[in-house]
Amino acid sequence: MEKVETGFTGLYIIKPAIYSDERGYFFECYNSESFKKAGISFIPVQDNESKSTRGVIRGLHYQLKPHDQAKLIRVIEGKIYDVALDLRKSSRTFGKWFGIELDSESKQQLFIPRGFAHGFSVLSDAAIVQYKVDDIYNKLSERGIALTDPVLDIDWRLGDTAPVISEKDQKNPPLRRAEMNF
């Protein structure tokens, strides 16, 4: 496993070691010892999976303290544009976002520390996304930020594809009005 810096404290691209031969491939999606050796403290307690079609945008989601979550994102099938937004008020990158294409071919993953909002858009006909989290989902702590906040100006890379956004996500406030306690 290789840990790649992103310029955001604690936010890393994870490149797993992939072993391929005539049978196919094998790789460790997560190994607590490898993460520990790389200096990443992460013990997942819940696995989540979603399937979405082209143009779907999910996010920008997070949970307030004490139920905030670190996440390890990977794509099992398809391709997404994954975005992490720094909500840590004391961070030099507060209010800035990082985006990366993740796909089932490269098997790269994104480790998102606590204190970030997360979202993604689907760039392929369909995408199955799996993410591990280090705290259980807590409905009362769930929050979101508007995907189309003009201050953030996130290009979800959909081109001419019309975005498909849930009614719930359409009601999320812009960053300047979002509740956060990081």
Residue 84's Cβ-side half-sphere holds a number of Cα atoms within 13 Å equal to: 28
Cα(90)–Cα(61) distance, integer angstroms: 20
The residues carrying an active-site annotation are: 61, 131
In angstroms, the CA 112 to CA 14 distance is 10
Q: Would you call the peptide bond into 60 cis, given omega within 30 degrees of 0 as the criterion?
A: yes
Half-sphere exposure of 1 (CA within 13 A, CB side): 21
